[in-house]
Chain A
Amino acid sequence: MNKEKIRAYRIISHQFLTLVRIEFPGSFDSPFGGIFEVFKQRNLPLRFLASERSLKGEKTLYLGVDLLSEETVGELIDALRGIGNRKELALISQVSMAMLYGPHFGEMPGIFGLTFSAFAGSGIIPLAISASSSSLSWLFPSGQFKKALEILHGIFEFPKGFSSWEENSDDL
């Protein structure tokens, strides 16, 4: 891939999130419905959501929500403790996310690796990554957020006067 900047259409970021990490053993079904119901009942927007299954079948679920107060954290932990079969539950404050949108990303093999390489080269290892054919999302410790954004702005160029948040497309 050449050194010219890659065109992207939009970047959306959230600097202060609380990460909810729930892990499940491989031998049980994971009751994600019950978990999402807890967030739905509290009307908490899910800024980041990803789940992955290890080679051994263990599942890890990441949910990023707007930074929670101590009171809400306690209440959420109580509600999530009731979810069966869980192996691990952790709420981690001060994480950040960035999401990049480009409908042409699917025609650019290597873009996932390029960004990961740039982050790793600066000592930034995302907590989680989610990539599709039109978007890339990363979750970072908040202390690495500013540097991560600098790296993204070094790789990608955005339309002049671009907006960081517009909900006018279903294809983001």
Chain B
Amino acid sequence: MIGRVKASPVLDAMKMTMSGDDPLALQNVLGVLGEGMINIWLGVEIKNKEDVMNITLCFNPKETDGVTTLIQEHYPTISFSMIKSVRIISVFPFRDNADVAFRFIKALEDNSVPVLVLSTSLSSISCLVPQDYCSIATKSLETTFGNS
């Protein structure tokens, strides 16, 4: 299957961990970011076995200072970490196809690309990688999906 590979502009990512018993905390953080008109390019939240929510939110680096200020002002007790300069790399089409997922992740693993986040929509599979790995990730995926 031939696929298209797309890379996002350089983004920053914020990682947070919160108790799954307290959705209000995440609700409030997302509410504050929404009121601040922060555009989230990629957002993933997953609960683990201990009912802890692990969250990653990506946004334009120009908004990083604003995001940090908003959260520290409104919710100073929330701990988070910022990962500077990341890229979202997507392959189209995906369409729930396990073979595409396998080839996608194998291309990245074979080239030792660290995957920070993995997500899918109906027609794409995407990963979040450090900017330093964007070139090799894109090239390996283009080779794998015949778009080179």
B117 contacts A53, C-beta separation under 8 Å: yes
B39 contacts A106, C-beta separation under 8 Å: yes
For the complex, give the distance between the alpha carbons of A169 and B55 in Å.
Answer: 29
Taking CB atoms, residues of chain B closer than 8 Å to A151 are none
B105 contacts A33, C-beta separation under 8 Å: yes
Interface residues of B (CB under 8 A from A): 4, 15-17, 20, 23-24, 26-27, 29-31, 33-49, 52, 54-56, 79, 81, 92-93, 95-99, 101-102, 105-106, 109, 115-126
B121 contacts A113, C-beta separation under 8 Å: no
Closest to A123 in B: B23
For the complex, give the distance between the alpha carbons of A93 and B92 in Å.
Answer: 29
Closest to A118 in B: B27
B98 contacts A172, C-beta separation under 8 Å: no
- Tell me the minimal C-beta distance from A48 to chain B in angstroms: 7
For the complex, give the distance between the alpha carbons of A166 and B97 in Å.
Answer: 15
Q: Is the interface of B mostly helix, strand, loop or mixed?
A: mixed
Taking CB atoms, residues of chain B closer than 8 Å to A4 are none
- In-complex Cβ contact of B116 among A53, A61, A107 (8 A): A53
Closest to A120 in B: B23
Once A110-B34, A120-B24 are accepted as A-B contacts, the answer to whether A45 and B40 lie under 8 Å apart by CB is no
Closest to A36 in B: B102
Once A58-B48, A113-B27, A130-B44 are accepted as A-B contacts, the answer to whether A50 and B120 lie under 8 Å apart by CB is yes
For the complex, give the distance between the alpha carbons of A172 and B35 in Å.
Answer: 26
Question: Known contacts A51-B44, A128-B44; can you find 15 more A-B pairs with CB under 8 A?
Answer: A46-B96, A49-B101, A55-B16, A55-B54, A61-B118, A106-B41, A107-B39, A109-B36, A110-B37, A112-B40, A114-B34, A126-B45, A137-B121, A170-B123, A172-B121
Closest to A134 in B: B121
For the complex, give the distance between the alpha carbons of A126 and B55 in Å.
Answer: 13
A167 contacts B95, C-beta separation under 8 Å: yes
B43 contacts A130, C-beta separation under 8 Å: yes
For the complex, give the distance between the alpha carbons of A128 and B55 in Å.
Answer: 10
B99 contacts A40, C-beta separation under 8 Å: yes
Once A23-B48, A43-B98 are accepted as A-B contacts, the answer to whether A49 and B93 lie under 8 Å apart by CB is no
Taking CB atoms, residues of chain B closer than 8 Å to A40 are 98-99, 101-102
For the complex, give the distance between the alpha carbons of A88 and B48 in Å.
Answer: 10
B97 contacts A46, C-beta separation under 8 Å: yes
Closest to A88 in B: B49
A128 contacts B47, C-beta separation under 8 Å: yes
A112 contacts B98, C-beta separation under 8 Å: no
Closest to B17 in A: A55
For the complex, give the distance between the alpha carbons of A43 and B120 in Å.
Answer: 18
For the complex, give the distance between the alpha carbons of A21 and B98 in Å.
Answer: 16
Taking CB atoms, residues of chain B closer than 8 Å to A172 are 121-124
Once A46-B97, A53-B116, A54-B52 are accepted as A-B contacts, the answer to whether A125 and B23 lie under 8 Å apart by CB is yes
Taking CB atoms, residues of chain A closer than 8 Å to B115 are 32, 51
For the complex, give the distance between the alpha carbons of A52 and B118 in Å.
Answer: 7
B34 contacts A169, C-beta separation under 8 Å: no
For the complex, give the distance between the alpha carbons of A31 and B106 in Å.
Answer: 9
